[in-house]
Structure 1
Amino acid sequence: MDRRGGGVILCFDIGGTAIKTAEAWPDAPVRPTGRIPTPAHDFDAFVAALRGAIAAASAPPSRLAFSLAGIVDGAGVATAANIPCLTGRHVRRDLEAALNRPVVIANDADCFALAEAVEGAGRGHDVVFGVILGTGVGGGVVVRGHLINEGGGFAGEWGHGPVLRDPALPIIRCGCGQTGCLDALASARGVERIDAHLNGPARASEAIVAAWAAGETGAGRTIALWLDILSGPLAMVSNLLGPGIIAVGGGLSNTPALIAALDVAVRARRLSPSAHPLIVPAQCRVEPGLIGAAALGRSAAF
């Protein structure tokens, strides 16, 4: 292995359904190389799939970099709901032993944030907060090109923790086991829950946002409440981190007017309101997991 950081880094974006792969060379764009099914329930089969990707690389990789749809805690233990064979494992240690190469790993939200910091909306900013507003509410924090939690842990997971106690809102038990989490009412599913509670009958978040954009009164009530729920906690996180930019990905980021409305609401609630946009749609719309994994691998190599 070239300890000066040379050689190819083989990148993996691990999801519950598919494993995407890419090669990252020093000073060259990330090159996607394919995808294979994820053997989610069998660790030996999972390792065999990775070995196949390593064997197919254009050169022997100097290290392996992973974006994982799950959490790796500070002790290195993974929790991956859709990849049960990794849950409970010291995943970096086990993969290094099985694959005989250095491994770096971060969750998919962290890799998204890192991609935005190095190649997306966060370029040129010391502190970048990458926010996911989609099936869930998540995020990652990058400071001067490095994940704030490079050693593992939950930094950036601002969607969990009991913050909602309005008696007018439905009490939703979050997937993390708590009630009153942003994840339960500020995600795309949360928009649907709010809308059904206010207006009924149930409709998809895409339809609600489209109706809001078209001026429908009911959808307007839904989005106004969604903005109120989300903007206060996001302003507080912004005060804590002091990001130069907050890049938003996930399904709800696909409507620029919605993100612009969130930006206005958050800037009005910050300690120091800004005249310039703070919250913007993500720019790395294709393969941010692989781009982030590559950045993680390059950082470790040097």
Structure 2
Amino acid sequence: MQIGIDLGGTKIEAIALDATGGELARLRVATPRAYTDTITAISTLVAQLEVATGQRGTVGVGIPGAVEPLTGLVKNANSVWLIGQPLGADLAVRLRREVRLDNDANCFALSEASDGAAAGAEVVFGVIMGTGVGGGIIVRGRGLAGRNLIAGEWGHNPLPWPRHDELPGPACYCGKHGCIESWISGPAVAADHRRVTGQSLPTPDIMAAAELGDVAALATRSRMMSRTARGLATVINLLDPDVIVLGGGLSNVPRIADDIAAQLPAWVFSQRVHTLVVRNRHGDSSGVRGAAWLWPAS
């Protein structure tokens, strides 16, 4: 049995899977705002899953950050109480077994590459388009972290082939201007709509208005699609994945995968683009399922 933990900023979700990916049990609790309480919460969830299933499982944890290989300490975590902490080692002591940790975007990509929308593909790029923009890379069933632990962070490259009215681009929290994240994250799309129209609307409402034919909303949607296609074209030029899987809140925009795929040939350095662009299969469950798959089924 594989146990997956998705350690989010507001909730911790836990799942137990059998060897075929079938769900045995699932639990969810609010995320504590302190490190020791987080250790206790995860340990309690694991114990409850094992009682519910009558089995002992491997444990994988998806975190909103990365783990430094040399020190085992968490870095770059949105949940700041995790930063500088030996989360994997402390969980291993509490649970009396090895625990595997990985970035939550990598877990999303691993889930979709294992038994999701990209199952069977050799190279998969998993895209997160939500509050932020990130991604994960899976090669032959294994996540690619990179030397600096930033593999897949396409959101902090500059928007490719910018038009004159896209320069220098919005300020990004990373300190630069014009990052892809500052153009196509959920908040960025709302900000783009506000700059052009003067209307303050949340991105889901803008996309809903576009579906009803609102001209201004359609224009905002079109700009988002163009910028996303340009950003992903550079991913294809560099990585050349078999499948790109879209995740995050914006992956729910109707026809987004088809619209992006249709624009890629204008930007990719190839006469034909064979990379598939698809929506995720497991939705919000991809992160927790991917954490479970950090341990391959035996």
Fold shared by both chains (TM-score > 0.5) = yes
Asked if the contact 1:74–1:151 (Cα under 8 Å) also holds between the matched residues in 2, the reply is no
**Secondary structure class of the residue paired with 1:256:** coil
Q: How does 1:83-232 map to 2 (within 5 A)?
A: 83-149=79-145, 153-163=149-159, 168-169=165-166, 171-232=169-230
Deviations 1:66-95 (A, max 9, x none): 011233345443236542321122332333
Partner residue of 2:23 out of 30, 35, 38: 30
Farther off after superposition, 262-271 or 244-253: 262-271
Residue in 2 that maps onto 1:50: 42
For the pair 1:61 / 2:53, whether they are aligned, the reply is: no
Query: What's the offset of the Cα at 1:126?
Result: 0.7
Deviations 1:179-233 (A, max 9, x none): 2211111111111111111111211111222232333322233223223322222
Residue in 1 that maps onto 2:66: 71
Q: Residue 61 of structure 2 aligns to which amino acid in structure 1? A: F
Structure 1 runs not aligned, ≥5 long: 1-7
Asked if the contact 1:267–1:278 (Cα under 8 Å) also holds between the matched residues in 2, the reply is no
Farther off after superposition, 167-176 or 132-141: 167-176
Deviations 1:259-298 (A, max 9, x none): 3211211233212254667211111124111210121122
Distance 1:93 1:25 in 2: 25
Asked if the contact 1:195–1:222 (Cα under 8 Å) also holds between the matched residues in 2, the reply is yes
Deviations 1:59-118 (A, max 9, x none): 463532101123334544323654232112233233324433101111211111111111
Distance 1:24 1:217 in 2: 46
Q: Residue 293 of structure 2 aligns to which amino acid in structure 1? A: A
Query: What's the offset of the Cα at 1:171?
Result: 4.1
Instruction: State, as a whole percentage, how many aligned pairs show the same letter.
Output: 33
Deviations 1:233-254 (A, max 9, x none): 2101112111111110111111
For the pair 1:253 / 2:260, whether they are aligned, the reply is: no
Distance 2:270 2:67 in 1: 34
Deviations 1:110-166 (A, max 9, x none): 111111111111012111111111111111111111112289811111101344765
Distance 1:286 1:171 in 2: 30
Query: What's the offset of the Cα at 1:168?
Result: 2.3
CA shift in 2, pair 1:189/1:283, >3 Å: same
Distance 1:242 1:36 in 2: 39
Asked if the contact 1:256–1:281 (Cα under 8 Å) also holds between the matched residues in 2, the reply is no
Alpha-carbon RMSD: 2.5
Farther off after superposition, 219-228 or 132-141: 219-228
Asked if the contact 1:247–1:280 (Cα under 8 Å) also holds between the matched residues in 2, the reply is yes
Residue in 1 that maps onto 2:276: 278
**Secondary structure class of the residue paired with 2:265:** helix
Distance 1:98 1:175 in 2: 36
Q: Residue 88 of structure 1 aligns to which amino acid in structure 2? A: G
User: May I ask how many residue pairs the two structures share in their alignment?
Assistant: 292
TM-score by length of 2: 0.87
Distance 2:176 2:186 in 1: 18
Asked if the contact 1:132–1:138 (Cα under 8 Å) also holds between the matched residues in 2, the reply is yes
Residue in 2 that maps onto 1:15: 8
Distance 2:144 2:14 in 1: 25
Farther off after superposition, 8-17 or 221-230: 221-230
CA shift in 2, pair 1:261/1:125, >3 Å: same
Asked if the contact 1:129–1:142 (Cα under 8 Å) also holds between the matched residues in 2, the reply is yes
